[in-house]
Chains A and B, each alone.
Chain A
Amino acid sequence: MNAKLADRIATVVFYLIALLIIGILAGLIGFILVRGLAVIDWHFLTSPPSTMTAGGGVAPQLFNSLYLLVLTMLITIPLGLGGGIYLAEYAKPGKWTDILRLSIEVLSSLPSIVVGLFGFLVFVQYTGWGFSLAAGALALTVFNLPLTVRVVEQAIRSVPREQREASYALGVSKWQTITQVVLPAALPGILTGMILAAGRVFGEAAALIFTAGMSSPMLDFTNWDPTSLSSPLNPFRPASTLAVHIWKINSEGIIPDAKEVAAGASAVLVLAVLFFNLTARALGRWIHKRMTSGS
Chain B
Amino acid sequence: MSGTYLGMPAFPAAAASSTQDTRLRANLRYATHTIRDKRARAVAELDDWARLRAAGAAVKDRTLRHLDHYLEQLEEAVTAAGGQVHWAADAAEANAIVARLVRETGEREVVKVKSMATQETGLNRALAEAGISAYETDLAELIVQLGDDLPSHILVPAIHRNRGEIRDIFRERMGRWGRPAPEGLSDAPNELAEAARLHLREKFLNAKVGISGANFMVAETGTLVVVESEGNGRMCLTLPETLISVVGIEKVVPTWQDLEIFLQLLPRSSTAERMNPYTSMWTGTADGDGPRTFHLVLLDNGRTDTLADTVGRQALRCIRCSACLNVCPVYERAGGHAYGSAYPGPIGAILTPQLRGTASELDASLPYASSLCGACYEVCPVAIDIPEVLVHLRERVVQGGKVTRRGVKTVLKPAKGHAAERAAMRAAGFAFGHPGVLRAGQRLAGRTRRLHPRRLPGPGRAWSDTRDLPPVPAESFRDWWRRTRGEERGK
A binds B: no
**A binding-site residues for B, Cβ under 8 Å:** none
**B binding-site residues for A, Cβ under 8 Å:** none
